[in-house]
Structure formats: structure tokens, C-alpha cells
Structure 1
Amino acid sequence: MQITDNFDSGNIRVIDASDASNIQLEIKKDNQSDFYQWFHFKLQTDLNANGERQEHVMHLNNAGKSAYTEGWEDYQAVASYDREHWFRVPTQYDGEKLTITLTPEYDSVYFAYFAPYSYERHQDLVHNAQMHLDCQLQVLGQTLDGRDMTLLKIGEEGEGKRKIWITARQHPGETMAEWFVEGMLERLLDEDDGVGRALLNKTVFYIVPNMNPDGSVRGNLRTNACGANLNREWLEPTMERSPEVFLVRKKMLEVGVDMFLDVHGDEALPVNFVAGCEGVVNYDARHKALEDKFKKFMVALTPEFQDERGYDKDEPGKALPTVGTNWVGNQFKCLAYTIEMPFKDNDLLPDYSVGWSDERSSLLGRDFLTGVYHMVDDLRES
């Protein structure tokens, strides 16, 4: 038996793997940070003395001190034999350790906090997108580890065209965010899809599928290579600490923003929802009307979305200006939302086999594109 995390986005520390029925593991902290929750590892199994597959019981001993312990309640880990199809496996949390139990059907199996989105898949995504006539792949600069900060510009500039910005994976462990963008991109670039074609007649999209490629490859939950939480860097980013935000923010100031969607995942809440920028200084009645209209459309468009549960709204003037949605919404006086998806399942439409999944995240991205379509004509004051 062998357990390893020596691959893209891998994260686990083996304490004792001598007994399949009592495997002791720990989740590693983000580099130069105390955040941790994301795990991703491979188990290579052996047959027992009778030539049979045996049950493996894996204890993640430090789960009780992770970043968001409420995320473990009613949570089930995911596993895959082929790294494409991920399913939920029996998982227990006792307040201290997270215990995953599985009798593998094959010799090798991967486990993860959520369906991973690899850096190779990210490269495939952006390079396949650039093959579309309306898409340009732009490199804004490099990260601390020397990876490209990649932007997809989709659509031709023209008078009156709206500028729609989509960013994902500021927190690298929230992999559902890039699955969401993949689904949105597929629809936007589908020449036979009326919503995508109509949108590109009126808008230019600026899409950053992965805001934190270093943290993604390193297997971090929430931070970049030097331990910076990018979604707290938007007020005064620097190339030394948060080049990812610095570069994207610079491009935004250059081209403008009419709508901003920042895609995330939430550890605790088992629903899909959005969080606005109600507490920023420039928030006004028009801003609220745009937010309300967008949420109304999304509730009507898909039963996967709801507006009953979510984060508490900030009081006027009390919003953190360092948060991406708050900075963008205030700076450009535009519709700006953080989209949150669950790590667990969607309580409104539970699926006990896969829970909330990569496929469902992708489909939600397609649905949100329809929501954007319904908002385009209202994004600027006449």
C-alpha cells in the first residue's frame, strides 16, 4: 500500500500507513499560511492474504483545526478511479478528525476535497478557447512561481459594447469555480447557441479562468505562493505579494467594467447563492435594482439557484474594500457579484451519489450566461 500527493494540486502528509484499517494522515497548510482544508492524494492498494480487496480507513487527524471546520459537517469526500468521474464516499467527522472509508474496486484510487481542476486542463481550456474566431488569449504577466496570468478576451470591441468580467479560483481549492467557467465558456463560444451569439453582439467578455495558478498547483486551499489571500488584496495589490490581482486590476482600469462575476465555493452552506457589494461607499438605488433583477432572473432560470440562504449583507459603508467584488463594484459603480457554490451538495436538489459536482458546476455556468444575457441592456444608465 502506498499513499502519495506528488502530483499537480496534491496535498496530504502520511503519518502512518502500515495498517489499511487505521491509516493516519494530515492535511498540509498552505505555503507561508495557516490556512488548510484542501486535500488530494492517491492510494495504491494491495490485495489481502486471501487475494481479496480490503477496506481502507483513512483518518485526516488535523481536520478539526482546519480553516472552516463547519465545512466537515454532513460532508462526503470524493474519489475517482480514472480522474474523470468523481463520486462521493463514506465520510465521518467527530469534531477532531475526518475519516474516509472505502473498499477500492481497483488497484489505484484518488481522493480529494472536491473534483480537482488540473493545471493541464486549465491550459487545454484556454488554448482551445483561443481557436475560436472571437477569442484572444492574452498573458497579462507572471505569477511568483513564474506561471502565466492568462486572460481570455472574447468579442470584438465596438461603440456601446458592455465589458463583462469573469474571474475564478482566487481561492485555488475552490475548484468548482473553474468548472463553472468551463461550462460558461463552452456556451459562449458555441456558434449554434443563440444566447452566446446574442451576447457577443453586445458585449466583450474578459475571463480569467484561474486567478491563482500557483496556489492551484501547490495544493493550497486559499492563498498564492507567498501565502497571500488574493481576495483580500484588491485595494492595494503589489507585484511582490499579489501579482495576480495587480495584473488583473490594471487591465480592468485600462478597459473598464460594466459587470463583474467572481466565482467561488463555500465550505459550509449547501446551496448556490450570490453575495453583492451592498456595503460599499458608492452603492445606490440603481445598484440595488440591478442586483435584485439579476437574482430574480437566476431564480427563474434554474432550480439549482436560490436567494433565501447566503451571507449577511454588510451595513452601508462597512464592506471590506480589499475584497474583489467590493473593490470592483465601488470603483466602477457596476453590478458586481460573488458567486458561491457548495463543496457538499445542493440541499434543494440533492444527489447522493455525486453531491454538488464538477458537471453540475459546469451546467450552472451555462445557466448564469443566460442571466448575463438578460441584464446586458440595463448595465449602463441611458
Structure 2
Amino acid sequence: MIKITSQFDSGNIDVIAADDPTNIRLTIRKDNNSDFYQWFHFRLVSTEDVEHVLRLENCGESAYPLGWKNYQAVASYDRETWFRVDTHFDGKVLEIRHQPEFRSMYFAYFAPYSYERHQDLLHEAQMSDLVELVDLGATLDGRDMSLLVVGEPEPNKKNIWITARQHPGESMAEWFVEGLLERLLDEDDAVAKTLLQHAVFYIVPNMNPDGSVRGHLRTNAAGANLNREWQNPTMARSPEVFLVRQKMLDVGVDMFLDIHGDENIPYNFVAGSEGVPSFNERIRGLQEHFKAAWLQASPDFQTTHGYPIDAPGKANMTLGTTWVGDQFNCLAYTVEMPFKDNDNLPDPVFGWSDVRSSQFGRDVLTAVLAVVKDI
């Protein structure tokens, strides 16, 4: 007996055939009202004591087919520990091979971050005297857009904004925020205590709750890529960006980190706002100081590999980092983590993981501390 299901939070798979464990044929569903697809998450139930071969047959036409090169899918028996499994891509079909040790197991593109865990994160955080949980409004599916304000706002303090998961399939971004929050709320951590003397943090752990629950890779319920909506968001198409942007305009921004995952590049890196009209030497200096501090804080960070730097005046102003960086003339970075592994420090069992993403979030606070007085 073989059964494959995805009728759960962030589930995504369609079954073509599942009667032969050595040739289970599957396809990934597209995001709603969009041609984007790459995220998958499904459950396999099987009584067959053989190696199972799962063939995702439409991966060659997915959003980022180069992302499948040297990629290994993740799997879990308990939905807590996610490990890498034997995966191959022939240019068209992604083939996963694994002999289950238990009757039921899960497969996913990356370790999922559930909506239930998201709610736990918000409400555990609000139990701290340092935190206010703010309801910004609702998404198109009626879910809450939630903001965590960490620290006591004062006129002389800096406003540091952190957003994650504009692209819902990039679940490592919310794992990053979870680690960052754990450290920031640790009253025995000297870095956190010092930061909160100088700054207030405005944190949106999940910019795209609808897409996350729907099992989307890149878009919200309407099929909008939120990280292309920052110039002219609307409540009809991109309320998530509209509401967060409105709050930013109300309180101001002195530093912005937008947390993402990259399908192709097997390294952690940042992308800045060099191409925006207001970019200047002050911002360039802050960028260099921040990157140098993060290099010292974490061997998982590097500056050799990443995206090409935009030429002056050539930035795409619809992106969160470029719009915020230009609007507030502030230090603004997109943080990218891999779906594959960090090739500088590879881990053959887990690859780049939820645990390492969380630690990376903790480590970034040391780099923020290095620049907080100058931003």
C-alpha cells in the first residue's frame, strides 16, 4: 500500500501514479494565479519494504531549474529533524531515492516552518516585557499581518526593521528570525542588551502567511510576488506590503534587513542598495563595516559569491531592499541563504538547515551591534 498526501499546512504535490514504489510519479503545483513553482511538501505512507523512487516530473520547467543541480531533498519521520536524502536531477525530472525506516514520512524542499509555529513564535515573544505584538491588518485570505516591536521606542533610538518570507517557500527566513528573536530576548545576552539600549526592532516574521499555508514558492494568494510590489502596493493585490510599508512610513527606518533564500547559489550572502538614486559614501561605509563584522561573527557568512552589484541608478525599485534603502536613505540589505548547502562549510547529512538558519539569525545581531551607533 502506498499513499501520498499534501492536504496540510504548506503541502504541495500532485500525484500522477503511486502504485509502484520504484516509480512514484509526481508533479509540483503552481502558485495560485502564477507560473511560479518549486516548493514541494508531502507525506508518504507505505508498507513496501523496498527503496522508493519518487519522480517529480515537471522540475525541468520550474521557476529555477538550475536550483535542482546538486540539490538534495529533505525528509523527516517526526517533522522535527529534517535530513537530506539521495536526490538526482537529469534536466527534466527530479528523482528522490529512499528506503523508509518507518511507515510514514515527509519530504520537502526545505525544512517547513508551519503557520502554527509562526503563531507560537509571535505569542511566546509577546510574553516578554520587551515586546509588543502589533496587528497591522489582514491578508487576502483573512490571516493576520503581525509585527513584533522589540524594545522601548524613544526619540534617540534607531529603528531597525527585519522582514522575512516575502517569498513563502523560503522557510529558512523564518527559522533565521526565530534564532534572532531568541537571542534578542535573552536578558543575559550582552549583545542583545546593548542593542536594545540603542535601537528598537520592528520584526515581521512572515510577510506572506497566505502563500506559506497554500504551499506557494514565491507569491501571495493573488499571485503577486511581494518583493516586486514595494513601489506601488495596493490592498487589493498586495496588502502585506501595503500595511508594512505604511507602518515604516509612520515610524521611520534606520536599518533594514529582508531575509530570503536562494535556489541556485550554495552560500550565504547579502545584496545591497548600490543602484538606488540616494546611494552615497556614508551608506557604502556602513555596508562594508556591517559585512566585516558579520564575517568575524559567523564563518557561515561570506562576500565572494552573490548577485552582481547594480550600476548607479539601475536598481529595480520595486524590491523591498531598494525601495526602503532609497526612501529612508538607510543601510538596507537582502540576506540570502541556500536551499542546498553552504559549500564553504558543507554538511552531508543535513545540508543548510533550519538549525543553522536559526544560528545565523543569532549571529547577525553581533554585526548589527557593530553599526548601530552609526546608522
Range of TM-score over shorter length: over 0.9
Q: CA deviation at 1:302?
A: 1.1
Matched, 1:176 2:172: yes
Q: CA deviation at 1:95?
A: 0.2
Matched, 1:303 2:299: yes
Separation (CA, whole Å) in 1 of partners of 2:198 and 2:308: 34
Please, which of 202, 205, 212 is the counterpart of residue 209 of structure 1? Answer: 205
- Code of the residue aligned with 1:42 in structure 2: it is R
Question: Residue 346 of structure 1 corresponds to which residue in structure 2?
Answer: 342
Q: CA deviation at 1:84?
A: 0.3
Three-state SS of the structure 2 residue aligned to 1:377 is coil
Three-state SS of the structure 1 residue aligned to 2:11 is coil
Question: Residue 85 of structure 1 corresponds to which residue in structure 2?
Answer: 81
Separation (CA, whole Å) in 2 of partners of 1:121 and 1:371: 27
Three-state SS of the structure 2 residue aligned to 1:364 is helix
Please, which of 126, 130, 133 is the counterpart of residue 130 of structure 1? Answer: 126
Question: Residue 235 of structure 2 corresponds to which residue in structure 1?
Answer: 239
Instruction: Calculate the TM-score normalised by the size of structure 2.
Output: 0.99
Separation (CA, whole Å) in 1 of partners of 2:113 and 2:294: 25
Asked whether the 8 Å contact 2:143–2:210 carries over to 1, the reply is yes
What is the number of equivalent residue pairs in this alignment?
A: 374
Asked whether the 8 Å contact 2:289–2:370 carries over to 1, the reply is no
Separation (CA, whole Å) in 1 of partners of 2:218 and 2:203: 20
Separation (CA, whole Å) in 2 of partners of 1:236 and 1:288: 27
Three-state SS of the structure 2 residue aligned to 1:101 is strand
Q: What pairs with 1:67-86 in structure 2 (closer than 5 Å)?
A: 67-86=63-82
Q: CA deviation at 1:300?
A: 1.3
- Code of the residue aligned with 2:322 in structure 1: it is N
Three-state SS of the structure 2 residue aligned to 1:140 is strand
Q: CA deviation at 1:159?
A: 2.5
Please, which of 366, 370, 375 is the counterpart of residue 362 of structure 2? Answer: 366
Q: What pairs with 1:1-382 in structure 2 (closer than 5 Å)?
A: 1-47=2-48, 53-379=49-375
Three-state SS of the structure 1 residue aligned to 2:43 is strand
Asked whether the 8 Å contact 2:72–2:85 carries over to 1, the reply is yes
Note the residue ranges of structure 1 that are not aligned, 5 or more in a row: 48-52
Separation (CA, whole Å) in 2 of partners of 1:215 and 1:157: 32
Separation (CA, whole Å) in 2 of partners of 1:207 and 1:303: 25
Q: CA deviation at 1:301?
A: 1.2
Separation (CA, whole Å) in 1 of partners of 2:155 and 2:100: 58
Q: CA deviation at 1:102?
A: 0.5
Alignment deviations for residues 57-80 of structure 1 (CA, whole Å, 9 cap, x no partner)? 000000000000010000000000
Separation (CA, whole Å) in 2 of partners of 1:283 and 1:196: 29
Three-state SS of the structure 2 residue aligned to 1:29 is coil
Three-state SS of the structure 1 residue aligned to 2:322 is helix
- Code of the residue aligned with 2:122 in structure 1: it is V
Question: Residue 50 of structure 1 corresponds to which residue in structure 2?
Answer: none
Alignment deviations for residues 114-163 of structure 1 (CA, whole Å, 9 cap, x no partner)? 00000000000000000000100001000000000000001001131000
Separation (CA, whole Å) in 1 of partners of 2:72 and 2:150: 37
Separation (CA, whole Å) in 1 of partners of 2:354 and 2:360: 10
- Code of the residue aligned with 1:35 in structure 2: it is F
Separation (CA, whole Å) in 2 of partners of 1:292 and 1:67: 32
Separation (CA, whole Å) in 2 of partners of 1:135 and 1:327: 27
- Percentage of identical aligned residues: 66
Separation (CA, whole Å) in 2 of partners of 1:193 and 1:92: 43
Separation (CA, whole Å) in 2 of partners of 1:123 and 1:369: 23
- Code of the residue aligned with 2:7 in structure 1: it is N
Separation (CA, whole Å) in 1 of partners of 2:371 and 2:184: 15
Separation (CA, whole Å) in 2 of partners of 1:291 and 1:73: 31
- Code of the residue aligned with 2:191 in structure 1: it is V
Separation (CA, whole Å) in 1 of partners of 2:135 and 2:52: 44
Separation (CA, whole Å) in 2 of partners of 1:292 and 1:199: 19
Asked whether the 8 Å contact 2:3–2:44 carries over to 1, the reply is yes
Q: CA deviation at 1:13?
A: 0.2
Asked whether the 8 Å contact 2:131–2:149 carries over to 1, the reply is yes
Instruction: Calculate the TM-score normalised by the size of structure 1.
Output: 0.97
Q: CA deviation at 1:299?
A: 1.0
Separation (CA, whole Å) in 2 of partners of 1:289 and 1:272: 21
Separation (CA, whole Å) in 2 of partners of 1:22 and 1:287: 54
Q: CA deviation at 1:374?
A: 1.0
Separation (CA, whole Å) in 2 of partners of 1:371 and 1:300: 8
Three-state SS of the structure 2 residue aligned to 1:109 is strand
Most deviating of 214-223 and 300-309: 300-309
